[in-house]
Amino acid sequence: MDLHIINETAKLKAVILGTAESNGPVPKIEDCYDPKSIENILAGTYPKESDMVREMNAFEAVLKKYHVKVFRPTVLKDVNQIFTRDIGFVIEDKFIRSNILPNRLEELDAINDVYQQLDPKNRITPPDEVHVEGGDVMPWNDYIFVGVYTGDDYADYITARTNQQAVDFLKELFPDKMVKSFELRKSNTEAKENALHLDCCFQPIGKGKAILHKNGFLIEEEYQFLVDYFGRENIFEISKEEMYNMNSNIFSISEEVVVSEVGFTRLNTWLRSNGFTVEEIPYAEIGKQEGLLRCSTLPLIRE
């Protein structure tokens, strides 16, 4: 398989979409990786497997409508395998395995059928000190945007997934790219104050537009860089509530077509007014785990 990913919006040809099958029982609080899942467990609103399977099937149907080749992971018993973006990412012709939370390593094994189709020289495993997950990494033409947390208390945050060593690693791996990092706001306990990944507060769409949430960024100058880069008139700024509901985590099938959650009324209206075709699907149950459409995908080939 010849991988090819240059940006977030070129026409999608092949993708790994996660699976909600055999998702397992409601997790224990101490086994959760994010504050939103904890919140829903405590409230008794943690999503049911049947609802999440239905939502992911709707996503797959839209992808296939646009003739995208969809791969699915091997189903592991009682394992949450929804968020394939966490376990790896593609830039240019290289597949970079994420250094993910140790108890999620079996999720990588579940995509081995795809992984073995790749040229061995393009299968990249970062060294152990490099912490990185795909939700924090966005190839955008000449740039690679990376969400990080570099505070001295990094180890205290289970929500801090990508470190400075990852930025340095990507600079070395892609010397012709400009690797631009952004310090993200982290919280283990408050979902509305936690940008779990970069795609929880920012996503480029179309040919030069973006969704953005200012409070997700710890350093105002870094937020301002994106405002200046895209232009204020091309940015849809989302509220704290919209960030919490994952409005920035939609998914581009092409520069013209996006998949979005049916409840994102304000965003979807703006997208259509800016010429996008919006494929609306229900995905709010999956969103209760602090991930949405982009998080559920691992793009392999775009035009």
Residue type, 26: V
Is there a domain that residue 4 lies in? no
Is there a domain that residue 1 lies in? no
pLDDT reading at 103 higher than 80:
no
> What three-state secondary structure class fits 217?
strand
pLDDT band at 179 (very low <50, low <70, confident <90, very high): very high
Residue 82 has a pLDDT of 96
Q: Quote the CA–CA distance of 225 and 62 in Å, as a whole number.
A: 34
Instruction: With residue 252 as reference, give the H or E element that holds it.
Output: strand 251-252
* Residue 148: partners with Cβ closer than 8 Å, 6 or more residues away: 136, 162, 163, 164, 166, 167, 181, 182, 183, 184
Is there a domain that residue 7 lies in? no
Q: Quote the CA–CA distance of 286 and 83 in Å, as a whole number.
A: 10
Give Dmax over CA atoms of the chain in angstroms: 49
Q: Quick check: 52 and 286 in contact, CB under 8 A?
A: yes
Higher-confidence residue of 34 and 273: namely 273
Residue 106 has a pLDDT of 87
- In terms of Cα–Cα distance, which of 45, 50, 41 is closest to 20? 50
- In terms of Cα–Cα distance, which of 206, 252, 203 is closest to 12? 252
Percent of the chain with pLDDT over 90: 89
- In the chain, the number of structural domains is 1
In whole numbers, what is the pLDDT of the chain averaged over residues?
Answer: 95
Task: Quote the pTM value.
Answer: 0.95
Q: Quick check: 77 and 25 in contact, CB under 8 A?
A: no
Is there a domain that residue 133 lies in? yes
Structure tokens at 118: 């790749």
- Determine phi and psi for 50, rounding to 5 degrees: -60, -40
pLDDT band at 104 (very low <50, low <70, confident <90, very high): confident
- What average pLDDT score do residues 249-276 get? 98
- Tell me the pLDDT tens digit for each residue of 24-55: 899 899 888 788 999 999 999 999 999 999 99
- Tell me the pLDDT tens digit for each residue of 140-164: 999 999 999 999 998 889 888 999 9
Is there a domain that residue 6 lies in? no
- Specify the CATH number for the domain of residue 212: 3.75.10.10
* Residue 272: partners with Cβ closer than 8 Å, 6 or more residues away: 278
Domain ranges, residue 273: 12-302
